[in-house]
Amino acid sequence: MKKILLLHTGGTIGMMPSQNDQKGLQPGQLGNHIFDLVPEISELAEVKIEILDDIDSSNVTPKHWEKWLARFKSLYNKFDGFVITHGTDSMVYSSSAFSFALGQTEKPIVFTGSQRPLTHIRTDARDNLINAIEISCRGPKEVSICFGNRLLRANRAIKLSASDYVAFESFNFPHLAKIGLEIEGVAEKQAKGGKPMWHSDFKEGVFCFKIFPGLSADIIRSALQSKACEGIVLEAYGSGNVPSLEPTVLNIIEDAEALKKPVIIVSQCPHGRVDLDLYECGIKAKKAGAISGGDMTREASIVKLMHGLGLGLIGKKLANYFLEDISGERSF
């Protein structure tokens, strides 16, 4: 039997109603109940559980990633695969952080969670947990998200629904597997795998903003000039277009370049990719110093920028790091 470590970080999956009904769902000791509630998991693997944290994932910060990764690293050699239970709200950020910190891995690392707590009737937690444990025994050697009968590459996924049991999607990359009667697709999509890099530092000084008609240059400029801001992810229109008739945004990109603060351009569209050579509006942004996020998600771009800055990269080195495919996060 494979040895699997289940690391719990929190989220709805382990939540219980508070004593006082007004307070809503609160974190609640999943580890104490999991073998009683889902005894099947011990038929699939020899599972050990450790509680890393028990928080709503809205409270997760890069400090949590660094702490979890340090513990994960110390346990990595002792197990064949890993399941990380996490809230759905920031799951794509944390799982992307793991993918960048490791770069590659020789073992399946599967994030999962649920829309309804494990203790509730009609919960999706049981199926997600059982599927995640099974995938962690024989799934792709990479960081993935197993949720709602889908297996997705973590750094390609976005949270799509706050209510549907199929809560995640990856628009720019095929699903790693479809989970039905059989688990289909896992074998042919196996990542090559390799020894992790363990670069687990993340800088928090990243600011993300979206372009819209009438965006105030003053607000953005004051954020850019703040010492706390070390880099920007800019959500542009379509294939990476920013307004060019009125120079506000282009000036901001030039100012950022002068301050040696990288500006990454991602698209507001969840499907498709940034191509800064396609329109004059993109060409001007590129000339001003913007770096293309290609077909990366906004979420993975934010985490990758935090990671690049955490590696101490600036200028051309940071741009090259960003344009490179580190962990399967970009194809263009």
Which active-site residues does the annotation give?
12
Q: Is 113 in the site for ligand ASP (CB under 6 A)?
A: yes
| Candidate residues 18, 29, 58, 61; the one interacting with ligand ASP per rule CB under 6 A | 58
Largest CA distance in the chain: 64
Footprint of ligand ASP on 37-56 (CB under 6 A):
56
Give the footprint of ligand ASP on residues 61-100 (CB under 6 A).
Answer: 87-89
* Cβ nearer to ligand ASP, comparing 87 with 282: 87
Closer CB to ligand ASP, 28 or 103, in the complex: 28
Shortest CB 115 distance to ligand ASP, Å: 6
Buried b (16+ CB within 10 A) or exposed e, 219-251: ebeeebeeeebbbbbbbbbebbbbbeeeebbbe
57 binds ligand ASP (CB under 6 A): yes
| Least gap, CB of 302 to ligand ASP (angstroms) | 17
* Residue 83 Cα to chain centre, angstroms: 15
Q: How far is the CB of 294 from ligand ASP (least distance, A)?
A: 28
Does 12 bind ligand ASP (CB under 6 A)? Our answer is yes
> Which of 114, 65, 73, 66 has its CA nearest to residue 93?
65
The region, left, alpha or beta by phi > 0 then psi within -120 to 50, assigned to residue 23 is: alpha
Q: Which is nearer to ligand ASP, 85 or 239 (CB)?
A: 85
Which helix (H) or strand (E) segment is 302 a member of?
A: helix 298-310
Structure-block tokens of residue 137: 């025994």
Residue count, binding to ligand ASP (CB under 6 A): 11
The binder of ligand ASP chosen from 95, 96, 99, 115 (CB under 6 A): 115
Q: Least Å distance between CB 71 and ligand ASP?
A: 19
Among 11, 81, 140, 308, interactor with ligand ASP by CB under 6 A: 11
Question: b/e string for 29-55 if b means 16 or more Cβ within 10 A?
Answer: ebeeebeeebeebeebbebebebbbbb
Residue 48's beta-bridge partner residues?
Answer: 5
Which lies closer to ligand ASP via its Cβ, residue 12 or residue 99?
12
> Of 263, 292, 297, 262, whose CA–CA distance to 277 is shortest?
292
Residue 87 or 293 with smaller CB distance to ligand ASP: 87
Cα angle 157, 158, 159 (rounded to 5 degrees) comes to: 130
The whole-angstrom separation of Cα 305 and Cα 292 is 12
Q: Does 128 bind ligand ASP (CB under 6 A)?
A: no
Which residues contact ligand ASP by CB under 6 A?
A: 10-12, 56-58, 87-89, 113, 115
